[in-house]
């Protein structure tokens, strides 16, 4: 009887199954299927064409001893931490500055000013900073020379001790980005009564930021941390275009490592293995991140 | 007390102005630089300089006009496909009692948190084996899988918020599922459609890694890849390159000036993807 009812419900909804079919198809073909084949292919020595030999866990063993892999992991940890620190401070301060201006028109002018650069394509920004950070005729070096700090000039992207930090410096002062919008939206949602009450108690601007905004914007900060972590972990464009991972391996990221192994060395099986390991890393980081954020919530 | 407030306002305004200046100045220099030749770039990168070399834009244009068209095709195609596929799926999930719909929803959105590069290689091989290497479709379909997942997530919650009294009364009057979707749900959903369209569009326009590996030569290369390959003569220097960067940024800036509110919502919606 129940079976019959279920069948009836299935039949009644047949049109809706047709509606979800395209979504299921495209996600299965371009997400799930490659995902599963990457696990399968990670067991092969494979050049993407004629050489295709099952080697079990050999790729994973090689990976554990692959110095480039560990360097890329170490680099991406630095990039993630740097990105998170940058985005928890600069855009927040800018949002505070803008919202503390008097007058709606003045506020809107500055808000828009910081929002417009967000829609400039990331690659344009990267290429613009390639010029700023370049060696002899880089803008930064010319600026240093102009103010008499010639001794500090260096080819920022071609020096292994500075290349990674130079990439992180792109987009300085790092305001024009999603975090700025999130902080702004967060501040708008804080009731004006709170600020008035604080003013009656004699609180100044800094105290209002310290005792009202900082605690009440914690959910925005969590979103910023999660979002920036995911963004930073995938970094590919900047090192690919600016340094090709160099000098040495100083700016090699996991995404770039996967790319190079597959398309420069034709090691498709090995590349797939890196992908599988990184997937596990992402899952672990996500779980730990969620746990940490939840705990900080419990603590207030 | 009053004078203290005034000085504070002055200090805050000055800080805001400095931050805005530092944010904008590199872009201003790019604009100036796009009109210079090699010697001008070396001698005076800071400001506009005469004579202005508008020819830089001709040199850049001849190399990236076709890629600009390619980007337009890819972005427009991807937006339409994403809206159609995710709109239908979200409607079915939000407004039907079909068995298994929560499993379907979970299946669609659960790979969203996997970064694209993790499956880069097998995805490349799938598209190659479908004979879609170096085609528009090969650049549209894989990112669309991602955008559909996000679109379904955003649209499902939006559709669920449409009161069922509206849909029920339409059903009572004999409105079928397809007509209900076209006549009632879609017209009510313009805001969320705009948000998904903008997020999808920005993703597709700005994408670099995927077109880098799935295209070859000039035929279907998008502008974001093409601007990394602009060449100029020695005397022209980097001027034409800068002109190319300006051209690549213009279409989105123009669109933004017409629909800044929708753009801001679209950019913010990208955060929930994480």
pLDDT at residue A300 in the model: 44
| pLDDT tier at A298, thresholds 50, 70, 90 | low
Residues in chain B: 274
pLDDT at A299 over 60: no
Closest chain B residue to the Cα of A180, Cα to Cα: B268
* Cα angle, residue A12 at apex, residues A11 and A17 outer, rounded to 5°: 70
Pick the CATH number of A61-298 from 1.10.3720.10, 3.60.10.10, 1.10.443.10, 3.30.2290.10: 1.10.3720.10
For chain A, the helix, strand and coil percentages under 3-state DSSP, each to the nearest 5: 75, 0, 25
Q: What's the confidence (pLDDT) of residue B176? A: 79
pLDDT tens readout for residues B131-153: 999 999 999 999 999 999 999 99
pLDDT digits (tens, 9 = 90+) for B208-219: 999 999 999 889
Quick one: average pLDDT of A281-290? 86
SS3 B223: helix
Contact B253 A116 (CB under 8 A): yes
Quick one: pLDDT band at residue B274, thresholds 50, 70, 90?
very low
Tell me whether B258 touches chain A (CB under 8 Å): no
pLDDT tops 80 at residue A296: no
Please tell me which residue, B116 or A139, carries the higher pLDDT value: A139
B249–A contact, CB cutoff 8 A = yes
pLDDT(A124) > 60 = yes
Q: Yes or no: say if B90 and B155 are a contact pair by the CB < 8 Å rule.
A: yes
**ipTM tops the 0.85 cut:** yes
Q: Using 50, 70 and 90 to split pLDDT, how confident is the model at B1?
A: low
Average pLDDT, chain B: 90
pLDDT in tens, B161-208: 888 788 778 778 777 778 888 888 888 899 999 999 999 999 999 999
Interface of B with A in 192-231 (CB under 8 A): 202, 205-206, 208-209, 212-213, 224, 227-228
Question: Quick one: pLDDT band at residue A57, thresholds 50, 70, 90?
Answer: confident
Contact A272 B122 (CB under 8 A): yes
Q: Summarize pLDDT for B109-127 with one digit per residue, the tens.
A: 887 777 888 888 889 989 9
In angstroms, the CA B133 to CA A83 distance is 34
Confidence of residue B2 (pLDDT cuts 50, 70, 90): low
Question: What proportion of chain A, given as a percentage, has pLDDT over 90?
Answer: 52
How far apart CA B127 and CA B109 sit, in angstroms, is 21
């Amino acid at each position: 009887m129940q079976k019959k009812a279920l069948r009836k419900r299935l039949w009644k909804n047949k049109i809706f199954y047709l509606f979800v079919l395209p979504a299921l198809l495209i996600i299965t073909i371009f997400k799930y299927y490659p995902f599963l084949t990457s696990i399968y292919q990670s067991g092969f020595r494979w050049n993407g064409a004629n050489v295709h030999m099952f080697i079990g866990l050999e790729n994973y063993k090689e990976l554990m001893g692959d110095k480039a892999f560990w360097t890329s992991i170490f680099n991406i940890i630095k990039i993630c931490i740097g990105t998170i620190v940058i985005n928890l401070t600069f855009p927040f301060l800018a949002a505070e500055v803008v919202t503390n201006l008097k007058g709606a028109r003045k506020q809107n002018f500055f808000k828009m000013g910081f929002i417009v650069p967000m829609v400039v394509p990331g690659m344009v920004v990267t290429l613009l900073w390639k010029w700023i950070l370049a060696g002899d005729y880089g803008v930064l070096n010319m600026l240093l020379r102009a103010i008499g700090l010639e001794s500090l000039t260096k080819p920022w992207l071609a020096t292994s001790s500075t290349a990674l930090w130079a990439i992180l410096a792109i987009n300085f002062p790092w305001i024009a980005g999603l975090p700025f919008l999130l902080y702004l939206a967060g501040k708008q949602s804080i009731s004006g009564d709170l600020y008035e009450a604080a003013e009656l108690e004699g609180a100044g601007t800094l105290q209002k930021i310290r005792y009202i905004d900082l605690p009440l914007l914690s959910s925005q900060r969590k979103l910023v941390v999660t979002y920036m972590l995911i963004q930073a972990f995938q970094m590919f464009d900047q090192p690919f275009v600016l340094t090709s991972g160099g000098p040495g391996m100083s700016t090699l990221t996991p995404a770039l490592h996967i790319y190079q192994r597959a398309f420069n060395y034709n090691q498709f099986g090995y590349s797939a293995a890196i992908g599988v390991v990184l997937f596990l890393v992402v899952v672990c980081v996500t779980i730990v991140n969620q746990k940490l954020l939840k705990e900080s919530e419990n603590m207030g | 007390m009053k004078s203290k407030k005034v000085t504070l306002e002055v200090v805050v305004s000055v800080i805001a102005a400095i931050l805005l200046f530092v944010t904008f100045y590199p872009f201003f220099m790019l604009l100036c630089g796009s009109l210079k030749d090699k010697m001008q770039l070396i001698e005076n990168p800071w400001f506009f300089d005469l004579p202005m070399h508008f020819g830089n834009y001709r040199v850049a244009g001849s190399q990236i006009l076709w890629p600009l068209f390619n980007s337009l095709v890819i972005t427009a195609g991807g937006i339409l496909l994403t809206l159609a596929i995710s709109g239908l799926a979200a409607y079915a999930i939000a407004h039907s009692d079909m068995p298994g719909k929560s499993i379907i929803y979970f299946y669609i959105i659960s790979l969203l948190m996997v970064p694209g590069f993790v499956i880069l290689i097998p995805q490349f091989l799938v598209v190659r084996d479908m004979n879609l290497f170096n085609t528009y479709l090969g650049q549209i379909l894989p990112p669309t899988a991602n955008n559909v997942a996000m679109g379904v997530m955003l649209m499902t919650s939006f559709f669920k918020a449409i009161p069922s009294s509206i849909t029920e009364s339409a059903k009572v009057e004999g409105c079928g599922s397809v007509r209900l979707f076209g006549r009632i749900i879609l017209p009510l959903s313009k805001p969320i459609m705009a948000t998904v369209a903008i997020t999808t569009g920005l993703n597709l326009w700005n994408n670099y890694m995927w077109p880098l590996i799935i295209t070859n030569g000039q035929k279907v290369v998008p502008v974001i890849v093409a601007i990394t390959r602009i060449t100029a003569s020695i005397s022209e220097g980097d001027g034409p390159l800068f002109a190319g960067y300006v051209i690549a940024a213009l279409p989105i800036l123009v669109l933004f000036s017409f629909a800044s509110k929708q753009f801001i919502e679209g950019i913010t919606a990208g955060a929930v993807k994480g």
